Chains A and B, each alone.
Chain A
Amino acid sequence: MKKTSSFRPPVIGATSLLIIFAVLCLTMFTLLALSTAKADARLSDASIQAVSDYYEADRQAEIIFAKLRENPQDMPTNVYCVDDVYSYNVPISDTQRLIVELEKNEDIWTVLRWQAVSVSELETNIIGTTFNP
């Protein structure tokens, strides 16, 4: 009778494979979580910057308005007056401007327009007024 001997190799490698997979998953999820949070933060920062820019432009427009109320004859350089309607604009960003139109009726000032307009829209309007009689 021939004696059979069975050889079973030690189970090495299965644990390593499992841990490598787990570590890879953990790393991937961490990187995804971090990149998503940072992308959200960038978007949020951009929208907050837009709010800050708008209120800075609004403040500049209020300063010009106050100067006009004090002495309408002493107009700042970027203010135009036609028939007691004073108009000026203040840049909010590269793509937006704050358009202001004020009407003076004796001592009463009325705000006709206080509007954020995109520069492209503004240019279209100017071209439209110039070339369409």
Chain B
Amino acid sequence: MKNKTFLPMIEQMIMILIFALAAAFCLQGFAAASRISKRQAVLTEAVGTVQNTAEILKSSHGDFELASELLNGSLTAEGIQIPADDYVVIVHTAAKEHDFLSSAKIEVMYDAETLYELTVSWQEVLP
């Protein structure tokens, strides 16, 4: 009688152990998939904002005040900061490359790291 209950109990214990191990590995897999999806969703949205920013900078010929107003950002010493839910887009102050050409670097910060960056150039309008 003792043997009859002992064997199934051992089996159940081993199976619970196996299930716990498999569940632990699988949970890590789910977490990794969720992390990848979240990062890509943020990146895709951020690139849309970067494109928008780049086009506004080009059309305004580098007018940072107008661009920050249009993008609902704030003008700082560094450039323009455009906050979003999960990331921040920073437009670094424009550098004059040429008499007729200026450029600015647009950077997306996510979790204190640079997620994406783009350099945009535009023609300077002479007075």
CA distance A19 to B14 in the complex (A): 10
A62-B101, A63-B101 known; A19+B7 contact, CB < 8 A:
no
A16-B15, A27-B26, A30-B29 known; A55+B119 contact, CB < 8 A:
yes
Residue of B nearest to A51 (CB): B47
Main secondary structure of the interface of B (DSSP, over half): helix
B18-A23 in contact (CB<8A): yes
A66-B100 in contact (CB<8A): yes
CA distance A67 to B123 in the complex (A): 11
Measured CB to CB, the closest approach of chain A to B77, in angstroms, equals 25
A residues lining the B interface (CB < 8 Å):
10-13, 15-16, 18-19, 22-23, 26-27, 29-31, 33-34, 36-38, 40-41, 44, 47-48, 51-52, 55, 58-59, 62-63, 65-67, 69-70
B residues lining the A interface (CB < 8 Å):
3-5, 7-8, 11-12, 15-16, 18-19, 22-23, 25-26, 29-30, 32-34, 36-37, 39-40, 43-44, 47, 50-51, 54, 97-101, 103, 116, 118-123
